[in-house]
Amino acid sequence: MSHTDTQTGQWATFHLGGEQFALPVEDVQEVLLQQPLTPVPLAPDEIRGLLNLRGAIMPAIDLRRRLGFPEAEQPDQKLLVLKGAEGPVSVVVDDIGDVFELDGTGWRPPPDTLEVSHKSFVFGVFPLDGQVLLGLKVDTLCADR
């Protein structure tokens, strides 16, 4: 479920490759730090491994790879467990940000200068205190490709 239609409410943020991204809080199940992942032979490159979260097995998607960012110099694993349409999915991010209350009138369409690799995942941008939040489509982010 995603509130990209209303775009008002609380948004959880995270950092990836120098950019700040936002997801609706209700789409985030939990935040995890330093969890062991089980490698999956022959899996797509963007699958970092499988996460066993209290008996629930889910893929861990490396968002750097999915969004076309270069590999991190010092990979410090932080995970967001998202409520995907077909069950929970974990995503590996650089850092966890703050939660913001955002008014739906502040969202703008993605600029034409947005990286091609981001366009299918980003529904809009929100200018905030000298920075820009990139609003992500959770269902598109979690979908198999």
Question: Of 62, 93, 56, whose CA–CA distance to 78 is shortest?
Answer: 93
Task: Look at residue 1 and tell me whether its pLDDT is greater than 50.
Answer: no
Can you spell out the DSSP letters for 10-77? EEEEEEETTEEEEEEGGGEEEEEES---B--TT--TTEEEEEEETTEEEEEEEHHHHTTPPPPSS---
| The one-letter amino acid at 119 | K
State the Cα–Cα distance between residues 45 and 23, nearest whole angstrom.
24
Hey, what CATH topology would domain 9-142 get?
OB fold (Dihydrolipoamide Acetyltransferase, E2P) (2.40.50)
Where are the chain's structural domains?
Answer: 9-142
Residue matched to tokens 């000298």 = 130
Q: How confident is the model at residue 75 (pLDDT cuts 50, 70, 90)?
A: low
Q: Check if the beta carbon of residue 135 is closer than 8 Å to that of residue 7.
A: yes
| The one-letter amino acid at 60 | A
Spatial neighbors of 88 by CB under 8 A, at least 6 apart, are 29, 53, 56, 58, 81, 82
Threshold 0.75, pTM exceeds: yes
Q: Check if the beta carbon of residue 33 is closer than 8 Å to that of residue 78.
A: yes
**Mean pLDDT for the stretch of residues 103-123:** 85
Q: Check if the beta carbon of residue 123 is closer than 8 Å to that of residue 49.
A: no
Question: What is the predicted pLDDT for the residue at 4?
Answer: 46
Task: Look at residue 26 and tell me whether its pLDDT is greater than 90.
Answer: yes
Task: Look at residue 49 and tell me whether its pLDDT is greater than 70.
Answer: yes
